[in-house]
Amino acid sequence: MTGVIADDVFDAEADEIIRGCLDLTAVRSFFLYAGAGSGKTRSLVQAVRDLCRRQGRQLTLTGQKVAVITYTNAACDEILQRLEFDPRVDVSTIHAFAWSLIRGYDADIRRWLDANLLAEIAELEDKQARGRASKASVERAQSIESKTRRRQGLPAITRFVYSPTGDNRTRDSLNHAEVIAMTAEFLTSKPGLRRLLVARYPVLLIDESQDTARRLMDALLGVQVAFPTQFCLGLFGDTMQRIYADGKVGLAEAIPEAWARPRKAMNHRCPKRVITLINKIRAEADGQAQRPRSNAQEGTVRLFLSPEAVPSKSALEASAAARMAELTGDEAWLPGRDGVKTLALEHLMSARRFGFERFFGPLYRYEPMRTGLLGGNGSGLGFFTRELLPLANALVVGDRFAIASAIRRSSPLLDRQRLATAGQQQQAELARAKAACDGLRALLVAAEPPSLRALLRHVAETNLFVIPDVLQPFVPDVPADGADAEDDDASTEGGAWRRALDAPFSEIERYDRYVRGVSQFDTHQGVKGREFDRVMVVISDDEAGGFLFSYGKLIGTKAKTRTDIENETAGNDTSIDRTRRLFYVTCSRAEKSLAIVYYSDNPGLARANLIERGWFTDGEIEVMPA
């Protein structure tokens, strides 16, 4: 057996364990540990294929299916194609799967929404009573009015709707967070729904399970405990790659003893030097280590150290890229070649470099919005990215076909029912739509770039698109009274949006490209499961500017705080844990060469500590001139 063939079957034991678990006559739940580049998606597809080959007829006769939950729509499409669209397998994202379970339970949904809206209104009213007159208080009053109006309209809704990929803005629609929260609560409190899940799907496989919302994961673990011999919950993932704040902390420790725990140790993606580095990064966390393929390249890793205070970080990073081209002989590293994927360890750093910080920063700092913001599907975001942006781009270049397409797709001005009702007045309706577009174009091409707030108000005044409830409070032009900066303002959804709407509209396109992964920069979420020949990781505690991450603490140039120690003692997540995971995820994307640019508060101490830990050799660290 050659080395390459041996590499291909190195983790065959893990696949065989999974095969044994997926026996419909005696199912067994399992947690597959599969580190970066280990081929867990291939194992998932292979396991499902094998189950359908062995017991597919039983699934057909009983009307049951295998459920597979994946991380993104793109991952769904890939798995469906690999499975050749087998009708005995349902592949979906977590939001689509959750909705498939609760869809149609309209009375239960209505009761849940009523209680949830009542609680949200009470919280807003409490803040209103304690606050002072300001823009924030006006916006809170409008939010209270909007939520009250929605609550009062619940009895008239006969059937609730939801789109896992849409903006869900109609009065009868649910948002993404509500669907996840409801599904978790219903699975916990309604035995009938648990039985339905088990009867419909005797096998449920979850990819990237470490990032599944903790409440939903807890509910699914509860279903497995209730039906251990009838329901196989198969979790594929790696706790070191948990990057969402709402993922379940301590997932591996929560797995029952009776579960199987197969493990894949081969990294098929990275060169040898990168694998050595990522093994060192996670050694102090869980000790799990991977091995490279026998035919893996050696690879190149360099750490470029710099003080935080440099005149131009962009110029320094360009110099580091040019140095990588020299070291590797790979001209694709040269600046301007678009051959490098830049991953900043904190999204605000990417936003600053790519030019959308004014829009992104306030929303990102409001923690409840963070997950949706990074996925591009948070409340209110689709209004700018999926409705306003396509129309704006078409208007600026004068693409009449694209303009008409954008308007027909979602504008109430050209709603089919509205035009039918207009009868002989249809021409007037078309003229109204044209006037709205002409006004929008005038704002877009003006010498002074328009703010998001200005465009929002134009859209509202002309009825060009439906304004989402979350943005309704910002439509009125409330005059400033000098008392609009309440202490808790930045920590509220309204305060976050108020600041974000001051950004110029040009930032929306950059934000949209970032979350879709089509820019030089990328999100940690966007690169999961992906790889790139050349990766530059940029880290800076000063730029991160928050308590979520700290490279100084991870590397030892800063001391742990009392909170860090208390969290460690309690088994809670710490800034060191989060930083280590993100460093692991980003470094493990490199297929050929990896550059790390580290802006340190103490470059000398950082260098000494990193060499002592064995993360880098002395020759792999280059101190960049300030």
**Looking at the structure, do residues 374 and 306 belong to the same domain, yes or no?**
no
Return the DSSP state at 467.
P
Q: How far apart are CA 159 and CA 173, in angstroms?
A: 9
Is position 5 within any domain?
Answer: no
Is position 173 within any domain?
Answer: no
Q: Which of 268, 288, 307 delimits the end of a domain?
A: 268
| Crossing angle of the two packed helices 357-365 and 506-516, in degrees rounded to 10 | 60
Q: How confident is the model at residue 349 (pLDDT cuts 50, 70, 90)?
A: confident
Amino acid at 551: Y
Q: How far apart are CA 61 and CA 65, in angstroms?
A: 10
What's the rounded mean pLDDT across residues 184-192? 96
Domain count, the chain: 4
Does the pLDDT value for residue 81 go beyond 80? yes
**Looking at the structure, do residues 510 and 538 belong to the same domain, yes or no?**
no
In this prediction, residue 335 carries a pLDDT of 84
Instruction: Report the CATH number at residue 243.
Output: 3.40.50.300
pLDDT tens for residues 104-130? 999 999 999 999 999 999 999 998 888
pLDDT tens for residues 371-422? 778 878 777 898 999 999 999 999 999 999 999 898 888 888 887 777 777 7
Output the six-digit token pair for 112.
């849940």
Q: How far apart are CA 514 and CA 516, in angstroms?
A: 5
Annotated binding site: 34-41
In this prediction, residue 170 carries a pLDDT of 78
Is position 350 within any domain?
Answer: no
**Looking at the structure, do residues 566 and 462 belong to the same domain, yes or no?**
no
Is position 396 within any domain?
Answer: yes
Give residues with Cβ within 8 angstroms of 233, minimum separation 6. 29, 204, 206, 220, 221, 223, 224
**How is the chain split among helix, strand and coil, in percent rounded to 5?**
55, 10, 30
**Looking at the structure, do residues 361 and 339 belong to the same domain, yes or no?**
no
Is position 480 within any domain?
Answer: yes
Q: Which of 515, 543, 558 delimits the end of a domain?
A: 515
pLDDT tens for residues 19-60? 999 999 999 999 999 999 999 889 999 999 999 999 999 999
**Looking at the structure, do residues 550 and 437 belong to the same domain, yes or no?**
no
Please report, for residues 315, 347, 529, 617, the alpha-carbon distance to residue 303 in angstroms, rounded to integers and kept in the order given.
Answer: 16, 20, 24, 10
**Looking at the structure, do residues 440 and 543 belong to the same domain, yes or no?**
no
Q: What is the largest CA-CA distance in the chain?
A: 81
Domain of residue 509, residue span: 357-515
Half-sphere exposure of 12 (CA within 13 A, CB side): 6
- Kindly tell me the sign of the dihedral angle through the C-alpha atoms of 497, 502, 504, 510: negative
Annotated binding site for ATP: 34-41
Q: How far apart are CA 170 and CA 154, in angstroms?
A: 12
- Residue corresponding to tokens 């976050």: 496
**Looking at the structure, do residues 138 and 87 belong to the same domain, yes or no?**
no
Percent of the chain with pLDDT over 90: 58
- Smallest CA-to-CA distance from 521 within 512, 42, 373, 529 is with 512
Q: How confident is the model at residue 344 (pLDDT cuts 50, 70, 90)?
A: confident
Is position 1 within any domain?
Answer: no
Instruction: Report the CATH number at residue 286.
Output: 3.40.50
- Smallest CA-to-CA distance from 464 within 494, 438, 497 is with 438
**Looking at the structure, do residues 426 and 459 belong to the same domain, yes or no?**
yes
pLDDT tens for residues 546-578? 557 888 899 999 888 888 888 888 878 888 998
**Looking at the structure, do residues 90 and 114 belong to the same domain, yes or no?**
no
Total residue count of the chain as it appears in this document? 626
Is position 249 within any domain?
Answer: yes
Q: How confident is the model at residue 540 (pLDDT cuts 50, 70, 90)?
A: confident
In this prediction, residue 487 carries a pLDDT of 42
**Looking at the structure, do residues 325 and 424 belong to the same domain, yes or no?**
no
**Looking at the structure, do residues 211 and 140 belong to the same domain, yes or no?**
no
Does the pLDDT value for residue 483 go beyond 90? no
How many C-beta neighbours within 10 Å does residue 182 have?
22
**Looking at the structure, do residues 362 and 487 belong to the same domain, yes or no?**
yes
Q: Which of 247, 268, 289 delimits the end of a domain?
A: 268
Q: Over 170-221, what HEC string results? A: CCCECCHHHHHHHHHHHHHHCHHHHHHHHHHCCEEEECCHHHCEHHHHHHHH
Q: Over 137-164, what HEC string results? A: HHHHHHHHHHHHHHHHHHHHCCCCECCC
Helix (H, G, I), strand (E, B) or coil at 599: strand
Give pTM, 2 decimals. Answer: 0.81
Is position 48 within any domain?
Answer: yes
Check: CB of residue 270 under 8 Å from CB of residue 257. no
DSSP codes, 369-400: GHHHHHHT-STTHHIIIIIIHHHHHHHHHT-H
Task: Tell me how far apart the terminal alpha carbons of the chain are, to the nearest angstrom.
Answer: 53
